[in-house]
A and B are shown apart, each in its own frame.
Chain A
């Protein structure tokens, strides 16, 4: 199975100059938790997720998320979001991002998602963005993969 057989063929992306308010709206309308950042030639230069935004504006939020202080931190986050609404995506995006080629296999994609603890893997063809793969897509594909089912039957015999 190749990555191109399981990827989500959506190449929605934003430019590094896009501001925070816009990228939040774009992710909401696209129903995505994260979106690749590309240059003027559609080459991937970064990735931004909801998590990256919250982490940048509320650096210790993972530590307080299950505590009572989260409510006050939440108000703080709202304020910060408004304050940073016009700041550019390039301030918040991850730059050194992992990508996978569309002809690579699913094992390689799964390995990268787990090894680097990431949720989205942009898929590339000739250096250009052609899709995105997530652990959810991989799990679904593994479950439905007929090749695997056939191999299991052979093993049982």
Chain B
């Protein structure tokens, strides 16, 4: 079982209209309500491939129940701790005439110490039936920045491998627990990791090595939209996607993480380049599929030839 953690999930409501005019009555042509949050997106991609997955985290109110219902409909097992405050809602206004996307982001509910303790208890129990856990995304208000460190430690106590995708201090603290794979989320920090800005391939490789030196087995740096550096202790790889018509960038990085999780959970070990190619193909398959739709195992197979992999070391 691949388990995912989303501490601050959201429902993304996209309102599409011909033209959005302030202070006017605007008729919306299309509405979609999609559960969001990094861990949830990983679970969706794992499920798209057909593997089993369980989503954990916090949910609250009617929005929380809406998210849980949708995830179960996708075939994802849920074990969320329900809180009294409402789960956040992000509103995305898509104006077709002016080609604009306006995002109104809700900071989300506060999580109290008692809720966190209950969540950690659930997490620890669920690790008994998990082989891999993907811990990713931003933290809710008032949650300590070493929470991912604590969760990875709990996973290791039950011999579960952990994948970490986070940013800033939360990422750095998480690394101290030595997850098997770590990927800094560069969007939230202006491409900055360990106080260095990643603006070229050379810096990406340096940062990947720095992550490996902290006890991680696989470091993934997505330093450009179509380019990733993947490093292990012995090897460094550059993975690129060959030009394709991308229709959706939401969830691409999470689909790639799902790809790594699917391969790492397998009994038989595959060669590194094959694992990287598969993970990148998962990301590409997601990018070529509209957000409200699901890519399939066949889509991933079709994407494999569009991944170029070069061994740099």
Contacts from A to B (Cβ < 8 Å): 8-13, 15, 26, 29-31, 38, 40-43, 126, 128-131
Contact = CB atoms under 8 A, between A and B. Distances in A.
Contact of A9 (B65, B75, B83, B125): B75
A126 B124 CA distance: 18
A124 B126 CA distance: 13
Q: Which 9 A-B pairs have the closest CB atoms?
A: A29-B82, A128-B129, A41-B128, A9-B72, A9-B77, A11-B79, A42-B125, A42-B128, A42-B129
24 contacts: A8-B72, A9-B72, A9-B75, A9-B77, A9-B78, A10-B68, A10-B72, A10-B77, A10-B79, A11-B54, A11-B78, A11-B126, A12-B78, A12-B79, A12-B80, A13-B79, A13-B125, A29-B84, A40-B124, A40-B128, A42-B129, A43-B128, A130-B129, A131-B77
A26 B82 CA distance: 7
B152 interface: no
B102 to A, nearest CB: 33
Interface string B66-80: 001001100111111
B26 interface: no
Contacts, number: 49
A13 to B, nearest CB: 8
A10 B69 CA distance: 9
Contacts of B129: 42, 126, 128-130
B121 interface: yes
A47 B126 CA distance: 18
A131 B71 CA distance: 13
Contacts of B68: 10
A38 B80 CA distance: 15
A15 B78 contact: no
Contact of A128 (B76, B124, B128): B128
Contacts of B82: 12, 26, 29-30
B125 A38 contact: yes
Contacts of A128: 128-129
A8 B76 CA distance: 10
A50 to B, nearest CB: 17
Given A12-B80, A126-B129, 5 more contacts: A11-B54, A15-B121, A26-B82, A30-B82, A40-B125
Nearest to A12: B79
Nearest to B74: A9
A42 B79 CA distance: 12
